Amino acid sequence: MEDLARVVQHRAELTKELLAYFGSMAEIELAPDDDIFALGLVNSLRALEIVVHVESTYGISVDVDDLELDNFRSAARAAAFVARKRGGDSHS
């Protein structure tokens, strides 16, 4: 149970960090599950910036197979993706 609590807390921290980043890009306040693509807040250049930010901030490599919109559609989904790539979240 302690491991699950740690995973949940880690995911919440990642979501908060990514939410702040997404909000600064969009210049509006977003909720963790707001779909930045459906809201029209992200174009292809911004999407690339998100990938570069995730790679450099979290020390992961985003492979071609990872370039699915669903991985970056919201702060919550991006946090789940980062956690999976880091190998620290099997509860995605």
pLDDT, tens only, 1-16: 578 888 889 899 999 9
Quick one: pLDDT at residue 22? 94
Q: Supply 67's token pair.
A: 């370039």
Q: Which long-range contacts does 81-88 make (Cβ < 8 Å, 24+ apart)?
A: 81/54, 82/14, 82/18, 82/54, 82/58, 83/7, 83/10, 83/11, 83/14, 85/58, 85/60, 85/61, 86/58, 86/59, 86/60, 88/7, 88/10
What whole-number distance in Å separates Cα of residue 67 and Cα of residue 87? 18
| Listed residue (42, 33, 39) closest to 80, CA to CA | 33
Average pLDDT over residues 80-84: 96
pLDDT at 91 over 60: no
- Cβ–Cβ < 8 Å for 15, 39: no
Q: What is the pTM of this model?
A: 0.87
pLDDT digits (tens, 9 = 90+) for 27-58: 888 999 999 999 999 888 999 999 999 999 99
